[in-house]
Amino acid sequence: MNVLKCLTLCLLTVVSFSACSNVEKEQEGIKVIDYRNPKKVCFGRIELTVPKETEVEYSNFNYNGSNIEVDESVKTYEAYQKLINDKIQYLKHEPHETEGVLLKQEMPGPVNQLNRSVSHIIVFRDGLYVTSAYEVYGYLYLGPRRLVVLKSGASNDLLNEAIEDMKQTLRSIKIKSAKGEEQAGLCWKDFFIVDDMSKNIPFGGGYLHFKFPSYPQVRADVVYRVTYDSDLHLIEMMKKNQKELPAIAKALMSIENLREHKKIINGLAGEEVLNHMSRRGYFERGYEVGEWQYLGTLDNHNDPYIQFSFDSADMVRPDDPLNSTISQKEALRLNDFILNSIRITPNNEKEK
């Protein structure tokens, strides 16, 4: 059944088929999720509200040409210094066919705290025979388990520009304020990147993944990134997929369209498609799969693409049944609770 679900998950708008299903059926022992005292999750220039129990998984982040990650194994300033020194010594002794060694240059970064450097930049070739491009790595130590690592690259002729971009990004990263930010910028995990939107800096983005202990197999995801030329309006894209729906999926799957409309959420004019899916000829619960999309602006990197996806039966094994553990009523309630909370953070609204 895993193949069937993969075929149908992305095909959210097709002709509704009649089927025998019990959409209010749920797994024994399930209790309604507690919506009291929810928590806010900030990601990039947006925030959303989720139930307090929600487990949040962050992807790495891409900003200003750098993939950004956190090395939580580094717990002390001395460990940070050792990591930098070990990296430099390794590159100094690895051969390169034309330049002798892989290391091109290394330098203290622009950030200092307590009269000591807490940032560093290392430029190197990525292999013995690589001659057309450099790797540019930045390091920012902001405390135990808070070593931010930025990985970028540049062609030979753009190396100086890449180093300057890295310096600017290192200067812009700080620990997120518990009281909320006053400046415009982007948040990610425990960090905040100051960006007043005046330079239209490219934002490659990342994703959030939500899981809910009270509701096994239910999941939600948020994708947030710069808008691409190839992005289509959600309903248009799903109608295109409808034409390509394999005959076997039509024969075996019943797909009931619950929603297909334009939906403005806190000023973000997007589109929503939500379907209920089940197997033909089975008296089963089935599951819901939905998506809301905000296209953003192609030439404005400060107004990126947003996609919210919801799946009430995330199948993790090939033999898992296509049944949600919760009723359709509760699935839609959770979907709408999170979806309707998506908004631009107040500190970024002020800059518009």
**pLDDT at residue 180 in the model:** 85
User: What percentage of the chain reaches a pLDDT higher than 70?
Assistant: 90
Nearest to 172 by CA among 81, 111, 113: 111
| 105 pLDDT higher than 90 | yes
Give the pLDDT mean for 99-118.
96
* Strand-pair category, 191-194 with 66-71: unpaired
CA 54/CA 73 separation, integer angstroms:
25
**pLDDT at residue 29 in the model:** 85
**What residue ranges do the domains of the chain occupy?**
2-61+204-349, 65-173
**pLDDT at residue 13 in the model:** 37
**pLDDT at residue 319 in the model:** 67
Answer yes or no: are the C-beta atoms of 58 and 188 closer than 8 Å: yes
Tens digits of per-residue pLDDT, 133-151?
Answer: 999 999 999 999 999 999 9
**pLDDT at residue 202 in the model:** 85
How many other C-beta atoms lie within 10 A of the C-beta of residue 231? 16
Helix (H, G, I), strand (E, B) or coil at 109: coil
User: What percentage of the chain reaches a pLDDT higher than 90?
Assistant: 76
| 1 pLDDT higher than 60 | no
Tens digits of per-residue pLDDT, 146-192?
Answer: 999 999 999 999 999 999 999 999 999 999 998 889 999 999 999 99
Tokens describing residue 257? 């369209």
| 3 pLDDT higher than 90 | no
Lowest mean pLDDT segment, chosen from 157-166, 236-245, 254-263: 236-245
Tell which wins on pLDDT, 246 or 174: 174
**pLDDT at residue 350 in the model:** 66
Q: Which amino acid is at 248?
A: I
Lowest mean pLDDT segment, chosen from 128-137, 281-290, 302-311: 281-290
Band (289; pLDDT cuts 50, 70, 90):
very high
Q: Please, what is the average pLDDT of the chain?
A: 90
Answer yes or no: are the C-beta atoms of 307 and 141 closer than 8 Å: no
Band (24; pLDDT cuts 50, 70, 90):
confident
Tell which wins on pLDDT, 2 or 129: 129
Helix (H, G, I), strand (E, B) or coil at 234: helix
**pLDDT at residue 17 in the model:** 35
Superfamily name and number for 2-61+204-349: Mog1/PsbP, alpha/beta/alpha sandwich (3.40.1000.10)
**pLDDT at residue 214 in the model:** 96
CA 50/CA 52 separation, integer angstroms:
6
**pLDDT at residue 317 in the model:** 66
**pLDDT at residue 351 in the model:** 52
List of residues 6+ apart from 249 with CB closer than 8 A: 4, 7, 8, 11
